[in-house]
Chain A
Amino acid sequence: MSRLGQVILTLLIYITLVYFLLQAMPGDITQMYLANPKIPQAAREELKKQLGLDQGVFMQYLTYLKNFFRGELGVSFSQYPRPVWDILMERLPRTFVLFLTANVLSFYVGYVMGRVIAWRRGRVVDYAATVVGITFWTAFYPLLALVLIWVFAYTLKLLPLNQFIEPKLWQGAPFSVNTVFGYMVFGGGVVAIGLFLIFYAFLRGLKRTRRNVTLAWLSGSALVALALLVAWRQGVLVYIWDIANHMVLPVCTLTLISFAGTMLLMRDSMLETVQEDYVMAARAKGLPDNVVRDRYAARTAMLPTVTSLVLSLASSMSGGLVTETMFSWPGLGQVLFHSALANDYPLATGALAFTGVFLLIAHFVADILYAVLDPRITYTGQPATEA
């Protein structure tokens, strides 16, 4: 597929750019390791040879590229001798859980509010929500995070102050942190798919009677209860609860700061769809207002917001640097920041390349999703042929 080829080419160019950009930075690794006067000249040369720094820049680049596609990103300098890949893999689930939750929540809030304010265009709700949304959207993020930490964790003591786990609780815990994150990703995924299937079957597939709605809610909550029970029996529930507790503040901050994006997009998209004929037909049929809004107009209007969800998920994960630094959340963004400050080139390059791969995959998925959701669009840019 040509699209896939383009993605791989873009990835290659991206990694090249990142590599040479970091190579061009002053403050070389060689100085860190080789300028130590206690190391004799011969040992220094040997070290240089071992690190492969005696070769030309281009040869080093080719070696890096070869290793990159094998999944070997080198050894971190600041956390010597841990491989970069290990560090990134350790951090990935933490970042993933945090940002997935935050994005889904902010998407949902933005979606619901967007359809409401588009429906009530020009009323007080519209203006108030837009002004408040924009103010948070453009708020100075690190400061907002600090203020929220200060209010909710420091003054009111409602939420844990920092970090992502309570160290005391985890002493002698039978699980490593990442195992628990793995459980969270896996269990959350299974429950989400299960809930989706249940609600899809009952509310869309079958007739939407009161009995079916009740059944859907009952079986949905049964599924959640079952998942919680399994977690409790396994003994992870208390740890999951601890992590969830620490997640509340970052997730809420992220939601506050980013819900306006989806909201405004949804509003604009909705303003177009409410002028369509089929919406007027639905109204003329005498359907209640909120049914027309939620099930006729909003479903079509949702299209651009879905793709923006995928993109924002990817970009917020790479841009998670600010969030993770402010909340001391040891994820990918924090590793990137610390490695940059410590002149740890292999780790910084690896982290940047890694986020690039993420973004690329997200762009690819967004393109496909768009084409799947809207049959009028194909990715080649030509209109779809009529079957």
Chain B
Amino acid sequence: MRQFAPSPQADTVALREPLWKIRWKLTMRGLSQNWAVFRESRIGMFGLVLIVLFGVFGALWPIMINTVWDPMIYHPVVGFDPMLAHPSPPTRAHLLGTDPIGRDILAQLMFSTGREFLLGVLSAAITVVIGTVIGTVAAYYGGFTDTFFMRVADIMMLFPFVPLLVVVGSMVRLSFFPFAVILGVLGGFGGITIILKAQALSVKVRPYIDAARVAGGSSFHIIRAHIIPNVLPLSFLYMMFNVTSAILSEATLSFFGVLNIDMSWGMMIHTAETAGYLFDFGRYWWLWLPSGLAITLFCAAFYMVGRGLDEVVNPRLRKR
């Protein structure tokens, strides 16, 4: 058998380049490969373009309010335009009209975009972090840990979330951050742990895990350095789906008026509905159409990106 001696060339390369740089390069190469697969999926790209558009739209808000718009008139919550009868249809000053109490719809829409991003990403990130940690730990240790967290997940999946949050919300009005955290934590212990655990189990039986253990790696090291990186793509995928569900829950609860949030897309529709303008849909279209479309498109965008990522993560779905 031929002996493998490290070639002098490889040695010098390794010496010249620090370890983090090599790791960085490897990560970048992996990312660019995945990007190539992702670009194949037109649905995913469509969603990504939508998200970027929403991002630009949301980023315009601070610029507009600080330079172009007068905060007295265009403030999304307390603004009021004394020159018009409200709700006013779209005019040059208010491109999407005003709501029943004289606030500019476009300003509300822009202001809320950033908040929705924050809400969706924050709660999805909490969900995914909790889900990944629990899933990998349950898969790695098995036994009681596994059974315990899987039963917890069963119970969480049992909870009818939206009704429950409506019930809770009608008694304690939740505000923005507590609501995002509650959504995230509730989701984190739920079904996502089961899926991520299944993935972690398939990683756990690979030979390199045994190799790492033989080489003296601690459990923490193995989970952190070997299992979690291999589960992460799937976690990221579920993060996209969680953004969708978080924002839809927020919109639904806002619509029913059980949240203590001053402005969001759901709140805009709630305002129009409680003021009675939704009985004449066709006439007052600007009160519900922009925000309704925004919710739908925003959620659809994240869902589509999730579908696109699915084709990256899930090789069985790739083209033959």
Residues of chain A at the chain B interface (Cβ within 8 Å): 6, 9-10, 13-14, 17, 21-22, 25-27, 121-122, 127, 130-131, 134-135, 137-143, 146-147, 150, 154-155, 264, 268, 271-272, 275, 315, 318-319, 321-322, 325, 333, 336-337, 340-341, 343, 348, 352, 355-356, 359-360, 363
**A137-B303 contact in complex given A10-B154, A25-B171, C-beta closer than 8 Å:** yes
Interface CB pairs A-B, < 8 A, 12:
A10-B154, A14-B159, A122-B319, A131-B300, A137-B303, A143-B288, A150-B281, A271-B316, A275-B316, A336-B167, A340-B166, A352-B167
Which 10 pairs of residues, A with B, have the shortest CB-CB distance?
A318-B160, A138-B299, A25-B171, A340-B167, A150-B281, A140-B295, A143-B292, A138-B300, A340-B170, A321-B163
Tell me whether A155 and B166 are in contact (CB under 8 A): no
Q: Does B105 contact A (CB under 8 A)?
A: no
Contact string against A for B residues 186-229, beta-carbon threshold 8 Å, 1 for contact and 0 otherwise: 00000000000000000000000000000000000000000000
When distances are taken between beta carbons in the complex, the residues of chain B under 8 Å from A17 are 155
Q: What's the Cα separation between A155 and B170 when bound, in Å?
A: 33
When distances are taken between beta carbons in the complex, the residues of chain B under 8 Å from A333 are 163
Chain B residues with a Cβ closer than 8 Å to the other chain, count: 48
Q: Does B182 contact A (CB under 8 A)?
A: no
**A130-B307 contact in complex given A143-B269, A356-B158, A359-B158, C-beta closer than 8 Å:** yes
Q: Does B244 contact A (CB under 8 A)?
A: yes
Q: Does B6 contact A (CB under 8 A)?
A: no
Residues of chain B at the chain A interface (Cβ within 8 Å): 42-43, 46, 151, 154-155, 157-160, 162-164, 166-168, 170-172, 244, 248, 251-252, 255-256, 265-266, 269, 273, 278, 281-282, 288, 292, 295-297, 299-300, 303-304, 307, 310, 314, 316-317, 319-320
CB distance from B289 to the nearest CB of A (A): 9
Tell me whether B248 and A138 are in contact (CB under 8 A): yes
Q: Which of B154, B255, B307, B320 contacts A142 (CB 8 A)?
A: B255
Tell me whether A127 and B281 are in contact (CB under 8 A): no
Tell me whether A318 and B163 are in contact (CB under 8 A): yes
| Number of A-B pairs, beta carbon distance below 8 Å | 128
When distances are taken between beta carbons in the complex, the residues of chain B under 8 Å from A272 are 316-317
When distances are taken between beta carbons in the complex, the residues of chain B under 8 Å from A147 are 281
**A26-B281 contact in complex given A140-B292, A363-B154, C-beta closer than 8 Å:** no
Q: What's the Cα separation between A9 and B154 when bound, in Å?
A: 11
Tell me whether A322 and B296 are in contact (CB under 8 A): no
Q: Which of A9, A135, A155 contacts B296 (CB 8 A)?
A: A135
Tell me whether A141 and B170 are in contact (CB under 8 A): no
When distances are taken between beta carbons in the complex, the residues of chain B under 8 Å from A337 are 163, 166, 256
Q: What's the Cα separation between A44 and B170 when bound, in Å?
A: 27
CB distance from B107 to the nearest CB of A (A): 20
Tell me whether A22 and B296 are in contact (CB under 8 A): no
Q: What's the Cα separation between A333 and B320 when bound, in Å?
A: 45
Q: What's the Cα separation between A322 and B282 when bound, in Å?
A: 23
Tell me whether B171 and A27 are in contact (CB under 8 A): yes
Question: Which one of B157, B251, B281, B304 has the greatest number of beta carbons of chain A within 10 Å?
Answer: B281
Question: Which one of B266, B303, B310 has the greatest number of beta carbons of chain A within 10 Å?
Answer: B303
CB distance from A68 to the nearest CB of B (A): 16
